Structure 1
Amino acid sequence: MKTLKTLSLLLFFLPFLVSCAKEKLTKATQTGANTFSCKINGKVYVAKTSLLSPGLTGGLRGAPGRYEFEVEAVVYSSGNNDNYTIGLSSGPGISEGVYPISSGYVDPNTGYYIRYNPNNATINFTHIDYAQHIISGTFSFTAVNTKDANDVIAITDGRFDMKN
C-alpha cells in the first residue's frame, strides 16, 4: 500500500518536475544534426518541431563558388510557453569564417523585429561540407521592433548544425 501511495505521488508530481527542467543550448556539433538554439534577452530557446511547423528549415543553398546560407527556425523556451520565429541569411560566396548577416528577423507574434546594426550581426561558419550539404556555426545580432524603436532584443549564443 505504501509503495502504491509513493508511486501515485511520483506520477502526480512528475509533469511538474519535467516542466521545471532548465532548457540548455543545443550541443555545438558539426555532423548535420539539424539543431538550432540561441538566447533571446538571456533566455534559452531551442528549435522544435510542432504540429504547425517543421521547426527548422533551410541550410546551404546555391552552387560551388556561390553558396549561401539561409535558415528559418521556430524556437521555444522551456515549457514551450513562448516562441519566436527567427530567420537568418548570408550573402553568396561563403566559406568557413565570420560574415555579416545579410538579413535577419525575429517574429514573436507580438511585433516584428529586424536586425538593425550590421556591426552586431554576424554568423561564424565553423564547418561547411559542400559535398554533404552540412553547415554549422554560431550567430548573434540585435534587433528592433518595427512598431516601437525603443523595443530592442538581443539574440546571443546562437548555434546551428544543419544538413539539407
Structure 2
Amino acid sequence: MTSIFKIFTLFIFVNVSSCVKEDSPKPGGTNTMIALVDGKHFEKKACWGCLKGGSAIDVFLNDTVFSVTAEDMDQKLTIELGIKSLNAPGLYTLSSRDKNFAIVRNYNSPYASFSTSSTNTGRINITMLDLSKHIIAGTFEFSAIDEKNSAHTVNVTAGNFDVTYK
C-alpha cells in the first residue's frame, strides 16, 4: 500500500511540475488575422503572390487613419476594421462608418454586408503600435448588422491581428 501511495504521489508531482503556462505569441508582424465569425474559425495570412490574385490581408496607415482587411475566398468572407484616429495603443470603440468601424462581407449567396452601428458595436484593443518597425497588432470583437436586413446580425469574437504596413 505504501509503495502504491509513493508511486501515485510521484506521478502527481511529475505531472503537476511539468505543467508550464505557455505565453501568448508576441506580436511581430506575422501578417495574420484570426477570429470566430458566428462561431466559425476565420484565419488569413498575407499572400503576396497568390495564384488567386492579390494579398489576403491589406493594411493601410496614413497619418492616423488605420484599416486592415482580411479576405478569405474559400469561406467567401471579408473582415474589415477601421480606426479614424489611431495615435496610440489602447481601446477603440467600433460603431458607425463615420467613426471607428467593422464590416463583414459575406460573398455566399445571397450576398450580405454587415456593419457596426450605433446599436451594434464592438471594440479593438491596439496592443502594439510600432511606428519604426511598421507593426500594428491588436484584438477585436464586435456585433454587426446586415445593411439591407436589420433582422440579421453577425457576431465576431476572439479576433486578433498582427500586421505590417508600408
Same fold flag (TM > 0.5): yes
Corresponding residue number in structure 1 for 2:105: 107
> Partner of 1:147 in structure 2?
148
Deviations along 1:43-82, one digit per CA (max 9) or x if unpaired, are 11011545134110014x133xxx2321111136xxx4x2
- After TM superposition, give the deviation of residue 91 of structure 1 in Å: 1.9
What corresponds to 1:90 in structure 2? 83
Q: CA deviation at 1:163?
A: 0.7
Within 5 Å, which residues of 2 pair with 1:42-53? 42-48=39-45, 49=47, 50=50, 51-53=52-54
Task: Name the structure where helix makes up a greater proportion of residues.
Answer: 1
Amino acid across the alignment from 1:106: V
Distance 1:39 1:122 in 2: 15
Instruction: Give 1:118 shift.
Output: 6.4
Q: How many residues align?
A: 130
Secondary structure class of the residue paired with 1:46: strand
User: Shift of residue 87 of structure 1?
Assistant: 1.1
SS at match of 2:150: strand
- Give structure 2 stretches of 5+ with no counterpart: 1-23, 95-99
Shift of the alpha carbon at 1:104?
1.8
Larger radius of gyration, structure 1 or 2?
A: 2
Report the Cα distance in structure 1 between the residues aligned to 2:163 and 2:123, rounded to whole angstroms: 18
Does 1:39 find its partner at 2:36?
yes
Contact (CA 8 Å) 1:97, 1:125: kept in 2 or not? yes
Moved over 4 A (4+): none
CA distances 1:107-157 after superposition (whole Å, capped 9, x unpaired): 102211111246731110011111111000001111111221111110111
Flag the 1:53–1:28 CA change in 2: closer, same or farther, 3 A.
farther
| Contact 1:37–1:75 (CA under 8 A) maintained in structure 2 | no
Aligned-partner SS, 2:151: strand
Aligned partner of residue 150 in structure 1, secondary structure: coil
Alpha-carbon separation, structure 2, partners of 1:161 and 1:43: 20
Amino acid at match of 2:121: N
* 1:9 aligned residue: none
Q: Which amino acid aligns with 1:130?
A: L
* C-alpha distance in 1 between matches for 2:126 and 2:140: 9
Q: Percent identity?
A: 25
